[in-house]
């Protein structure tokens, strides 16, 4: 059975911290932001942590070799 490869698209979209948390970027931040308030722009740029256990399990499947770090 061949080795399972890490999905590179998943690696580009999320970051695993030293403590095993998964950080992600917010969606809808590329363009058309002129009409947004300053507070909304700030909130969107901060990103967020993945808290849903179901989403964590999906990311673990996509990240095969890097999933050991995820708690």
Question: Tokens 């580009």 correspond to what residue?
Answer: 12
Q: In the prediction, which pLDDT does 36 show?
A: 93
The answer to whether position 31 is within a domain reads no
Residue 30's pLDDT is: 84
pLDDT of residue 66: 75
pTM score: 0.66
- 36: which 2 tokens? 């947004």
Q: Is residue 30 part of a domain?
A: no
Residue 34 counted as domain residue: no
- Does 2 map to a domain? yes
Mention every residue, 6+ apart, whose C-beta is less than 8 A from residue 66. Answer: 6, 11, 16
Range of the domain at 65: 1-24+39-71
pLDDT tens, per residue, the chain with 71 residues:
787 888 888 888 888 888 888 888 888 888 888 999 999 989 888 888 888 889 888 888 888 877 777 77
Is 53 domain-assigned? yes
- Asked if residue 33 belongs to a domain, the reply is no
Q: Has residue 29 been placed in a domain? A: no
């Amino acid at each position: 059975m061949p080795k399972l490869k890490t999905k590179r698209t998943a690696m580009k979209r999320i970051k695993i911290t030293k403590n095993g948390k998964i950080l992600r970027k917010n969606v809808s931040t590329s363009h058309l932001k002129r009409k947004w308030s300053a507070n909304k722009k700030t909130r969107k740029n901060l990103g967020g942590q993945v808290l849903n256990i179901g989403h964590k399990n999906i990311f673990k499947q996509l990240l095969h070799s890097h999933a050991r770090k995820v708690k």
